[in-house]
Structure 1
Amino acid sequence: MRRPALLFVPGGKVVGAVTFDITDGKIATVRGIAAPARVVRLSDAWRQHEPEAPLITEW
């Protein structure tokens, strides 16, 4: 199953992620990850793929 997600990637390192479960076209569940031990795997995966330019660079 694929889930939409937001990654927070300052300086090329993932520091957090939010995922969304979609049911019947609506957001059913939101999950967040920010624990350094867990996001290190996301950083490794991020670097292995050639990510596109971010949609939002500043908030």
Structure 2
Amino acid sequence: MSMDEDEVLKQARTSGLTYNQAKAYIARTTGGKGTHIYSNTDTEAVRQKNAASMSRKQR
């Protein structure tokens, strides 16, 4: 490796998020198509909450 390549690698390691980390962060915080794999939402809890809400509306 040349000196320039070493410097680039050093900067990359200290520059912040990796590509995959950035992609996961964006998916978690903005939503979007195909991002469900990054979601930490408890879908069952959401279903139960929605069912309870609908039940209250029907009374």
The TM-score normalised by the length of structure 1 is: 0.21
Per residue, is there more helix in 1 or in 2? Answer: 2
Structure whose alpha-carbon radius of gyration is higher: 2
Q: Which has the higher strand share?
A: 1
